[in-house]
Structure 1
Amino acid sequence: MKRIFFTVANNSSTVSLFSHLNKNNYEIYAGDLNPDSIGKFYCKKFIILPRQDSEEYIPALLEIVKKEKIDIIIPSGELECYKIAQEKSKFTELNCIPVVTNLKTLETSLDKADSYNYLTEHANIPFMKYHLIENINDLEEGLIKLKNYELSIKPSQGSGSRGFAFLTDEKVDAEHFFNSKNTFPTLSVSDLKNMLTNSSYIPKLILMEKLEGTHYDSNMICSKGKVLFQSVRTREEAINGTITKATVVRNEEIFEINRKIAETLNVEGYICTQYIGDKLIEINPRWSTSINYDDFNEYLMVLDYIQGKELKVTMADYDRYIDTKFIRYFNTFEYKN
């Protein structure tokens, strides 16, 4: 039985994922900074980890791998994947396989602006109109450049839709702000200008046209820039950037864009892409939400791939899974220490 170590044990997928892999002959070990992580009740052993940005983090993971004889380690966030990918040889020397993509894909994807610029230059991929902002002057330039578009803004680095907002030329009134049930906030341009003017530090931001159309997520399993398997699902409902309702669909435009991305970045392993309509909005180079139905199971497929096994499901089987639906719900767990 292979031993898997998850470095995060407290997100919305933890319970279903751990339970699922336990049923498929994997022994789950898990760690987290949070001592009350829900995953500790669904794994063989739970270990409290240091902060991911600390110097002790990678040595702590290597010690766990060595002591617990871990076969596979699965990191969560993009920056953590990057840190582990940089030290990949130290894990493989301990006969442990990190589930991370190649460094080129990680380095390009960590900063969304960098990925937009790189793919615009090196691949024929449709993008929204956008402008990079690092100060108030950049914002003024961007507002002129994109004056014919409805606009939105988001940080160039980050995940989970943090910091995303729609922009409006109108003042946002209290009734609209406090009574609307929108997924994302609306910010007035004047309030944004005041914020940037009065801030001592401004993260790199992307001012971009507000896209209309269906939201999609797509997963890819790749080998040396070639897509072995990919799927597309609608992003019908989400909470804090996490999908809660989705449906598997066939979308040839997204399949083709994914193939261009994989080839351009020489993608290795498992990554996720996000689209609005046919426009790429970001690449998430990490383990991500998967719809698992019958033998259409991307988690198990990824684990098979990294262990050198053939994929049990190929694109020739894909049509059997179209219209498969995904619903994520929240549960409650009570316990005493």
Structure 2
Amino acid sequence: MNILITAIGSYSVSTVIKSLKLDKRFDKFFGCDIYPKEWHYITKEFDQVFLAPYVTEENKYLKFIQDIIIDNDIKIIIPSTDIEVDFFNKHRNYFKNTLITIGSEQFIKIARDKYLLSEFLNSNNFKVPNTYTYDQLNDAKFPLIGKPKNGRSSEGIIRLKDISDLGTNQSYDNYIFQEFLQGNVVTVDIINDIKKGITVSIPRKELIRTSNGAGMTVEMFYDDKLNTLVKEISNKIGAFGAFNMEFIINENEYFLIDINPRFSAGIGFTQFLGYNYVVNTINYYLQEKIETQIEYQNFILQKRMEEVLNETITK
């Protein structure tokens, strides 16, 4: 089977490609990105990497992906970013003969709209920070965090001590505003199989986190209460396959703040436990057995960044 991985510059891709290359079921690996392949060290792990148009140019991007599928006999596509998940969710009818590692249309619709997600959580009695739209701010309890409803990677987030912190030269109709809660972000990598009643969930507490929401230093841990909550939310929302949940832990309670319907940036931490999250995800989508035994351990892990020579350019 040949695999296409999109947005190869994403944090998760290094773990994804290295895990899958150890699995003899897969033949060739193709990648694409909006930046030239020479700009990514991970390019060396692929058989071929293509320069992609922007996903927002939908017709051009659709033809681009279709051509890669036909020319390279692609059987599986792994979208690496939220905007690509949105694209494949919208155009899934064009890819009926190709396995796309995304969840159901309804799940993605809720997961990718922070207002719909907060409404879902409230209506099902799950804890979520108090949430307001722009026209409800006069009744809001400050401080608040403002987020685009369909935002990704913490883009566009604003912090408000009071309503005067809002600018006057921007529309906030596409924003939600949530009560700011003190506490650590806890993120959970999940594989959910509703039909078989299997939920694999591996949590980590983010101790150092970048401005775009990537954990750099994390504490791996186990909490039965959290695992039960993850299973309840996942099944209620109809989520299957691989995705990631983000919580704020405040006064020993977990408040769900986001769902990422894709591999998270920190799946390398999950793999470090010895559980092959990537291969088991693909096994789920191929309707094969997934491993459920996990040896949870409490320890601190760090993501290490280093400089490497990719290519020497002479002029």
Report the equivalent of 1:331.
306
Percent of paired sites with the same residue? 19
- Pairing 1:246-257 to 2, within 5 Å after superposition: 246-257=218-229
- Pairing 1:130-145 to 2, within 5 Å after superposition: 130-133=131-134, 138=135, 141-145=136-140
Query: CA contact under 8 A between 1:58 and 1:84: conserved in structure 2?
Result: no
Q: Is 1:3 aligned to 2:2, yes or no? A: yes
Instruction: State the alpha-carbon separation in 2 of the partners of residues 145 and 87 from structure 1.
Output: 38
Q: Is 1:42 aligned to 2:77, yes or no? A: no
Deviation, structure 1 residue 236: 1.4
Deviation, structure 1 residue 131: 0.8
Spell out, residue by residue over 1:297-335, the C-alpha distance to the aligned partner (whole angstroms, 9 max, x if none). 2111101111121112x1xx33x2222543212222331
Report the equivalent of 2:122.
120
Query: Highest relative contact order (Cα 8 Å, sep 6+), 1 or 2?
Result: 2
Instruction: State the alpha-carbon separation in 2 of the partners of residues 115 and 260 from structure 1.
Output: 15
Call closer, same or farther: CA 1:41–1:79 in 2, change over 3 Å.
same
* One-letter code aligned to 2:255: K
Gaps spanning 5+ residues in structure 1: where?
Answer: 170-188
Instruction: State the alpha-carbon separation in 1 of the partners of residues 232 and 93 from structure 2.
Output: 28
**SS in structure 1 of the partner of residue 152 of structure 2:** coil
- Picking from 192, 198, 223, the partner of 2:169 is 198
Report the equivalent of 2:259.
283
Deviation, structure 1 residue 114: 1.2
Instruction: State the alpha-carbon separation in 2 of the partners of residues 85 and 198 from structure 1.
Output: 33
Report the equivalent of 2:271.
292
Instruction: State the alpha-carbon separation in 2 of the partners of residues 227 and 321 from structure 1.
Output: 17
**Bigger shift: residues 107-116 or 3-12:** 3-12
* One-letter code aligned to 1:213: G
Report the equivalent of 1:258.
230
When the two chains are superposed, the root-mean-square deviation of aligned CA atoms in Å is 2.1
- Pairing 1:158-307 to 2, within 5 Å after superposition: 158-169=151-162, 189-192=163-166, 195=167, 197-199=168-170, 201-224=171-194, 226-239=197-210, 240-277=212-249, 278-288=254-264, 289-290=266-267, 291-293=270-272, 295-307=274-286
Query: CA contact under 8 A between 1:293 and 1:324: conserved in structure 2?
Result: no
Gaps spanning 5+ residues in structure 2: where?
Answer: none
**Bigger shift: residues 258-267 or 96-105:** 258-267
**TM-score, length-scaled by structure 1:** 0.81
* One-letter code aligned to 1:5: L
Report the equivalent of 1:84.
88
Instruction: State the alpha-carbon separation in 1 of the partners of residues 91 and 156 from structure 2.
Output: 30
Query: CA contact under 8 A between 2:199 and 2:231: conserved in structure 1?
Result: no
**SS in structure 2 of the partner of residue 235 of structure 1:** strand
**SS in structure 1 of the partner of residue 199 of structure 2:** strand
Report the equivalent of 2:101.
99
Count of paired positions = 298
Instruction: State the alpha-carbon separation in 2 of the partners of residues 37 and 30 from structure 1.
Output: 13
Query: CA contact under 8 A between 2:118 and 2:131: conserved in structure 1?
Result: no
Q: Is 1:64 aligned to 2:64, yes or no? A: no
Deviation, structure 1 residue 70: 1.6
